[in-house]
Structure 1
Amino acid sequence: MLNDFNCTCPVYIACGYTDLRRGIDGLANLVKTQFQMDPFQRALFLFCGRRRDRLKALYWEGDGFLLLYKRLESGSFQWPRSTEEVQALTPQQYRWLMEGLKTEQPKANKAVSGLSVI
């Protein structure tokens, strides 16, 4: 489900560790109080535990929350641990994360902001 998530909505990850014992209300409250964001917006919020082999996703469907839980059988997610803030992901970064890669790939081609004439 999460690997094939093709929503045009923004994707946010909570950097650092999150206590995955939290349910819908606890994660929605974390989005609201710690990140000063609206949990009722059409966005996918991702949270990862200390072991980095499990994550929870919170998504508002318009009439209720969807809570997804994923546990990897082997390997781990390359989750940013440096800060306790929220980070927006591009669709490409989201795919990298779900494939077990880091969200920042130094050898990836970067988007060009303006055209230059040769």
Structure 2
Amino acid sequence: MKGLISPPAIYLYREFVDFRKSINGLAALVESETDLSLDSGALFLFTNKQRDKMKVLYWDNTGFALWYKRLEKDKFKWPSREKHQVFTLSGEEFERLLSGFTIIGHKPIEIHSFTMS
């Protein structure tokens, strides 16, 4: 999703969800279990019980969009033992999560730029 949208916030829902839920079911979950605004343009991340699939729900000013990713050989490093129901992620943490890296309890990798003389 890199470069496709610039969300004002990224929220990760900690508990796994029934992946038969689509846009309406996931939107109802956000409305009933959080106080977050669905029409803010924020991304809402959900995973299945096996942690090998992710759905991303967001509002793009014309309607809801749902993005789906399935990992072939790995599992998403989802925070399953944390106390918070919803986490706020940075764009970098989101990209790391999509790439299969752990995001909770680890500092992001610093990228140093250099110039050649």
Distance 1:64 1:108 in 2: 33
Deviation by residue 1:97-118 (Cα, 9 ceiling, x = unmatched): 11111113535469xxxxxxxx
Judging changes above 3 Å, is the alpha-carbon distance between structure 1 residues 98 and 26 closer, same or farther for their aligned structure 2 residues? same
Deviation by residue 1:67-86 (Cα, 9 ceiling, x = unmatched): 11111111111011124611
Q: Which runs of 5+ in 2 are unaligned?
A: 111-117
* Residue 93 of structure 1 pairs with residue 93 of structure 2: yes
Deviation by residue 1:24-61 (Cα, 9 ceiling, x = unmatched): 11111111110121111110101000111101110101
Partner of 2:46: 47
Percent of paired sites with the same residue:
33
Partner of 1:28: 27
User: What amino acid sits opposite 1:45 in the alignment?
Assistant: F
* Residue 65 of structure 1 pairs with residue 64 of structure 2: yes
**Under a length normalisation based on structure 1, what TM-score does the superposition of the two structures give?**
0.81
**Under a length normalisation based on structure 2, what TM-score does the superposition of the two structures give?**
0.82
Q: Which runs of 5+ in 1 are unaligned?
A: 111-118
User: What amino acid sits opposite 2:19 in the alignment?
Assistant: L
Indicate the larger mover: 64-73 or 79-88.
79-88
Secondary structure of 1:40's partner? helix
- Match runs of 1:102-117 below 5 Å: 102-104=102-104, 106=106, 108=108
Secondary structure of 2:57's partner? strand
Judging changes above 3 Å, is the alpha-carbon distance between structure 1 residues 40 and 108 closer, same or farther for their aligned structure 2 residues? closer
- Report the RMSD for the aligned CA atoms in angstroms: 2.0
Task: State the aligned residue count.
Answer: 109
